[in-house]
Amino acid sequence: MTSRPLAISAGDPAGVGAEIIAKAWRALRQDGPTFVVIGDAQLLASAGGGVKVRAVTRPQEAAQVFPDALPVLDIPVLSPVVYGRPSPSHAPQIIRWIETGVGLALSGAVSGLVTAPIAKAPLYEAGFQFPGHTEFLAELTAAASMVGARGPVMMLAAGDLRATLVTIHTALAKAPSALTTEAIINSGLVTAQALRKDFGIAEPRLAVAALNPHAGEGGALGREEIDIIAPAVEALRALGVQASGPAPADTLFHPEARARYDGVLCMYHDQALIPVKMLDFWGGVNITLGLPIVRTSPDHGTGFDIAGRGIARPDSLIAAIQLAAKIAARRGV
C-alpha cells in the first residue's frame, strides 16, 4: 500500500456522507487504508455517533492520528445543516471540499481521492455548471490530463464485473444521438488502459454492448450497431484492444458471460448500473478512469431519506477506499 493517505471529500452535509465516513473509519482504523477527510469536523463528530475527530493541518499528519481519531482537514459549513434537507447554501463548501481534494491529489500530498455522495439539484440552484461529480473532476484535472485517449470514463465495479459507460449523465431519450464511433473508441481505449494499469490485467478482454434489443436485429430494430458501434469495435481491434461485439445487452451479465471478458463497455447509464447493483447492491464502487489522479466513490447517492438516523451502511464507501488504495499502489502514487 502507498504511504500517503487517501483524501475523502465529505459530500452533501445533509446526507449520509459524514455517518458512513465515521463508520468506515471505525472499520479501517487498525488495518487501513489511512485517509484524511476534507469537511466539517464538528459535523463529522456529531453525525458519527460521537466518533473521536481530530483536526489536522496537513494530510501528512493523518497516519499518526488515524488509529486513534478520524483526521479531518476542517473546512466548516457556513449555514445550519438539517439532515435530509439539502440546501444551496451548502454548495460553496461542498465544491471547496472537492476542489481541495483534487488539489491535494494533483500535488501528490494524497495518493487519491474518494468522494462521498453529492446531490446535484441544490448545486445547480447555486450555479454549478456540471452534470455531476465526474465531469467536474475532469474539468479540475484538465490541465494535468494525459496525452492521447482520456476520460472522464465512468466505471462501475462489483465483484468480477467492471462496466464502463460511453454516455454518462445523459437522458435516455438523448443517449442514441449522443453515441459516436469516436466516443466508443475513446472509452474503449481508456478502459483497456485502466484494466492494464489499475487492475493489473496484462491483456484485457473488452466486451462491447449493443444499444438496441437483439443488437438491432440486423438493422430492423435500429442501425446504431451497424453504423456506429461495429465500426468502433473494428477500430479498437486495429488499435490492439481485444474487443468483441456489439453483443445484445441481455446476454452479457450472467456468470458464464462475465467469465469471457475483463470489462464491458455499455452505451448508456442504466445498461451498466442495473447489473452492477443487482450483483452487489451494497458493495459497488464508482471509479473515474482516464484522469491523472485516482478517484473512486461509493455507488449510491446521498441517502437523504435515512440521513441522521444512524442506519446508513458504509459497505460501498469501504470498498471504494480499499479499491482506491489498491489502484494508487499499482500506479506507485
| 4 marked among binding-site residues | no
| 23 marked among binding-site residues | no
140 with 205, same domain? no
| 169 marked among binding-site residues | yes
87 with 201, same domain? no
113 with 228, same domain? no
Q: If 0-12 CB within 10 Å is exposed, 13-18 middle and 19+ buried, where does residue 124 land?
A: middle
pLDDT at site 22: 96
pLDDT at site 147: 55
120 with 217, same domain? no
- Helical H segments across the chain, by residue range: 17-28, 41-47, 62-65, 91-107, 120-125, 133-140, 175-178, 181-197, 224, 230-238, 255-258, 269-279, 315-331
Q: Are strands 263-266 and 205-209 parallel, antiparallel or unpaired?
A: parallel
Containing structural domain, residue 124: 1-145+291-332
| 115 marked among binding-site residues | no
| 90 marked among binding-site residues | no
Q: What CATH code is carried by the domain that includes residue 96?
A: 3.40.718.10
Torsion of CA 246, 251, 256, 258, to 10 degrees: 50
| 326 marked among binding-site residues | no
Tell me how crowded residue 237 is: count the other CB atoms within 10 A of its CB: 14
119 with 98, same domain? yes
Rounded-to-integer distance, Cα 10 and Cα 14, Å: 11
Count CA atoms within 13 Å of residue 90 on its CB side.
26
pTM of the model: 0.94
103 with 158, same domain? no
80 with 171, same domain? no
30 with 137, same domain? yes
pLDDT at site 1: 44
Per-residue pLDDT of the chain (333 residues; tens, 9 = 90+): 457 999 999 999 999 999 999 999 999 999 989 999 999 999 999 987 879 999 999 999 999 999 999 999 999 999 999 999 999 999 999 999 999 999 999 999 999 999 999 999 999 998 999 888 888 999 999 877 665 667 799 999 999 999 999 998 889 999 999 999 999 999 999 999 999 999 999 999 999 999 999 999 999 999 999 999 999 999 999 999 999 999 999 999 999 999 999 999 999 999 999 999 999 989 999 999 999 999 999 999 999 999 999 999 999 999 999 999 999 999 988
| 277 marked among binding-site residues | yes
7 with 116, same domain? yes
255 with 296, same domain? no
Instruction: Tally the domains of the chain.
Output: 2
116 with 215, same domain? no
| 300 marked among binding-site residues | no
119 with 189, same domain? no
